[in-house]
Amino acid sequence: MPSRAVPLVLLGPQRFTRTLGEAVRATGIAGPLALVTAGWQEREGEDEVLREHLAAAGCAAENLRLYERTEELFEADPELAAAHRERQERLRHLQELYRLRLAHLKAAVRELDLREGPPELLAPERRHALEAVRALDAHHLRRVRALRRATDEATGLRRRPALLRQAAGVRRALERAAGVAIAGGHVAVLLNRLRLFGGGRLLRGRPLFAWSAGAMVVAERVVLFHDHPPQQSGDAELLDAGLGLCHGILPLPHARRRLRLGDPRRVALFAERFAPAAALALDDGARLVVAEGGWRAGPGVFRLTPAGRVEPAGELP
Amino acid sequence: MSLAIRSLTGRETPPAPAEIDAFLAAHPVPLVEGSSVTFLYRGEAHAVRLHHWIYGLPSARPFTRLPGTDLWYLIEELPPGSRVEYKLGLIAEAGEEEELIRDPRNPLLARDPFGANSVCHGDRYEQPAWTLPDPEARPGTIERLTLAETALGREVPVALYLPARFRTSRRYPLLVIHDGEDYLRYSALRTVLDNLIHRLEIAPLVAALPAPGERLVEYADDPAHARFLAEELVPALERRLPLRREPAARGLMGASFGAVASLSTAVRYPGRFGRLLLQSGSFAFTDIGPGRRGPVFAPVVRFMNRFRDRPERVSERVYVSCGIYESLIYENRSLVPLLQGTGMEVRYEEARDGHNWENWRDRLRAALSWLFPGPLWMVYE
């Protein structure tokens, strides 16, 4: 397997099974680590347990305070704050429109799946129905990107003094760090905050450890998923592009709790819909070391396959 | 399907006591087989009867004694998914008074303010996992305060449920719950809220549980009660706690007369409470004549008749549920199209259950996750 000079490690959720310290040690990084806990929103600063865990592994940590910095930024630049609110409102609206169309397309996929008849007639229709879902996903992603780009350009985001000041503070903190640990939480908040301060450009080339929503945002696409919510049907949704720091992987934290992994048809549809990215279940204890063009997965990482199976992810290539 | 009890009945000679012992040891009581339930009682008696709370069936159903034995049985039809509370009535000697007891062979009990009943779980009924304590769920806390000099002319003790990791820098929805202490005791309310918040299925919320006084008076469209909730309790809590102030983040909830109090308060303060959760509401009304439910219901009937004459859009979302084994099913079914006709969003759910706290408990996930949806799709911790 080609080795990656800068480690990128995706972990299972850390609340009950903390493996971050061990993962950091295994990469030979002495620290300190820059922490991103913006997904915890107003609890961003409540990172004592995480710090203690890292300290026990001999690693110091400094929180980048991206959530708090954003609040300060919006206070200092109300025009930017208003533009951000408006953009988020438009994104929410767009997501609703996408959800509406997705529900109909997914219903067709499900209905065709239950139909009986000559395979030579049914199979192409099923494939085409799934392609329609994939095409809608791609269309939605394009629209979300375009909407974001338009707002960034309209607000002159990268030239705003208040943002430049905060971003400089983030960069200085990163220069003191030997790597970055990105925790979970609210995935849209986390993604927005990271993107605001530079996104992929900010983190590329730095050793990264990410879990839960953190693992989701470093991938190429962010997919929201739950197979048995208390309301509605549980159709996975594309939210946005991720930071694109790892390729060909769709991380699925808490997959055992959130997905019906015992239902081969659902597993197959999920895997096919998001192919060629590998849908990888990252539950407690999971560790996935991402390498150029592949990965090395620990025993806790499972891959959802188009055949409807959930298999140990192993190594790729 | 041949029922297990048939292995003992229809014989020329009665089964020996040891055989009955073995039968009882081998089968749970009551014995649920598909849509049939066999209730069993063993002991000397003049008569044994089943008392249940299924509206539409005679309330006392006689057991049959297996000839030559002290084993009594009764076979009833019970559709899948049903949940029925019951007691056994024993008459020791002819002419003696009946003694009501819980089924001595059935460990399943449901408690309520009047004591406890035995419970029969029909085929495929399962107590929802989210009603049971989950060690992973962070627990909320209960705080208590007292409001003095209220519109009700008395002090009102209020229990407050604050969600786990409550913090003043965040704003929370408020749900005011009638008979809230009973919901805590008999409907596992605290466990349910902890679990649903932990599962991200409902938003972290503050629940206020004001203690009722004369509930059959205060909850029966009493203007003082509505004034207390809308003009005293909610403003007091908004001063004290970080609460969201929009109607969509403010709810009223109750069962039975508590549902009446919730709806009538919303009618007296239209637009104030954007979320209503009405369980097995005692929504008695009359189309003609004085009604059949007695004087306690008179103010309810007046309120419902007025509301039926001039239904209004007083809230945004209303969740209504009722057990199909309740006498109130007719009133609740009648209410739904009336509410829908006002333009409110209405969800209605029926359950094969009765007028009891566990029925109301089992509906809370569907109700609360619709009224106060949580960040399930967005949060991955």
pLDDT for B181 equals 97
- Inside any domain, residue A276: no
In a domain, A194, yes or no: no
Q: Which residues on chain A are in Cβ contact (under 8 Å) with B380?
A: 13, 184-185, 187, 212-213, 216, 253-254
Query: Looking at the complex, does the CB of residue A68 fall below 8 Å from at least one CB of chain B?
Result: no
Kindly list the residues from chain B whose CB atom is less than 8 angstroms away from the CB atom of residue A39.
379, 381
Query: How far apart are the C-alpha atoms of A129 and A110, rounded to whole Å?
Result: 9
Average pLDDT over residues A287-306: 91
Best residue of A231, A259, A280, A282 to probe chain B, by most B CBs closer than 10 Å: A231
Cβ-contact B210, B156 below 8 angstroms: yes
Asked whether residue A4 carries a pLDDT value surpassing 70, the answer given is no
The reported pLDDT for the residue numbered A299 is: 85
| Domain boundaries B4-121, corresponding CATH code | 2.60.40.10
> What residues of chain B score a pLDDT lower than 70?
none
Hey, are the CB atoms on B380 and A237 less than 8 Å from each other? no
Among chain A residues, the shortest Cα distance to B170 is held by: A42
Chain A residue numbers with beta carbons less than 8 Å from the beta carbon of B131 are none
Determine the residue among B202, B370, B381 to mutate to test chain A binding: the one whose Cβ has the most chain A Cβ atoms within 10 Å.
B381
Residue A195 resides in a domain:
no
Confidence at A317, pLDDT banded by 50, 70, 90: confident
pLDDT tens column, B95-146: 999 999 999 999 999 999 999 999 999 999 999 999 999 999 999 999 999 9
pLDDT at A3: 41
CA dist list (Å): B257 to B178, B250, B331, B372? 9, 20, 13, 23
CB A261 within 8 A of CB A226: no
Residue contact A42–B170, C-beta within 8 A? yes
In this complex, the residue of A213, A229, A230 whose CB is nearest that of residue B380 is: A213
Q: How far B15 CA sits from the closest chain A CA (Å)?
A: 47
Could A185 and B370 be called an inter-chain contact, meaning their C-beta atoms sit closer than 8 Å?
no
Whether A175 is covered by a domain: the verdict is no
Closest CA to A258 of B381, B247, B290, B101: B381
Give the residue from chain A lying closest to B366, CA to CA. A230
Looking at the complex, report in whole angstroms how far the Cα of residue B370 sits from the nearest Cα belonging to chain A: 7
- The class (CATH top level) of B129-371 is alpha beta
Put simply, the answer to whether A43 touches B167 (Cβ < 8 Å) is yes
| Chain A from 222 to 241: CB within 8 A of any B CB | 224, 226, 229-231, 237
Angstroms from B3 CA to nearest CA on chain A: 34
Q: For residue A184, give the chain B residue with the closest CA.
A: B381
Domain extent for A121: 78-159
Give chain A's length.
317
C-beta neighbour count of B111 within 10 angstroms: 14
- Report the mean per-residue pLDDT for chain A: 95
Establish how many alpha carbons lie within 13 A of residue A42's alpha carbon, considering only the half-sphere containing its beta carbon.
7
The pLDDT, as a whole number, for residue B48 is: 98
Residue of A nearest to B370 (CA): A231
Confirm whether the ipTM is greater than 0.90: yes
Give dist(CA B177, CA B126) in Å, integer. Answer: 26
- Distance (Å) from the alpha carbon of B365 to chain A's nearest alpha carbon: 7
Residue A107 located in a structural domain = yes
CA-based nearest residue in chain A for residue B200: A229
| pLDDT of res. B137 | 97
Tens digits of residue pLDDT in A153-172: 999 998 999 999 999 999 99
Q: Which residues in A lie closer than 8 A to residue B200 (C-beta atoms)?
A: none
Q: What is the DSSP string of B298-318?
A: HHHHHHHHHHHHS-----SEE
* Whole-Å CA distances, A134 to A86, A101, A148, A236, A273: 28, 12, 21, 12, 6
Smallest CA–CA distance, residue A87 to chain B, in Å, is 18
| B366–A13 CB contact, under 8 Å | no
Question: What pLDDT is recorded for position A5?
Answer: 66
Residues B296, B325 contacting (CB under 8 angstroms): no
CA distance to partner chain B, nearest, from residue A94 (Å): 16
Q: Where are the domains of chain B?
A: 4-121, 129-371
C-alpha span between B119 and B103 (Å, rounded): 9
Of B165, B370, B377, the CB nearest to A224: B377
Side-chain-side CA neighbours of A179 within 13 Å: the count stands at: 24
| Total beta-carbon pairs less than 8 A apart between chain A and chain B | 50
Summarised one tens digit per residue, pLDDT across range A61-115 is 999 999 999 999 999 999 999 999 999 999 999 999 999 999 999 999 999 999 9
- Both tokens of A103, joined, read 């529900």
Q: Per the domain annotation, does A83 fall within a domain?
A: yes
| Closest-CA distance of chain B to residue A117, Å | 32
Q: Return the residue of B nearest to A216 by Cα.
A: B380
Nearest by CB: A230 against B169, B365, B380: B365
Query: How many folded domains does chain A comprise?
Result: 1
CA distance, residue B377 to nearest chain A CA (Å) = 6
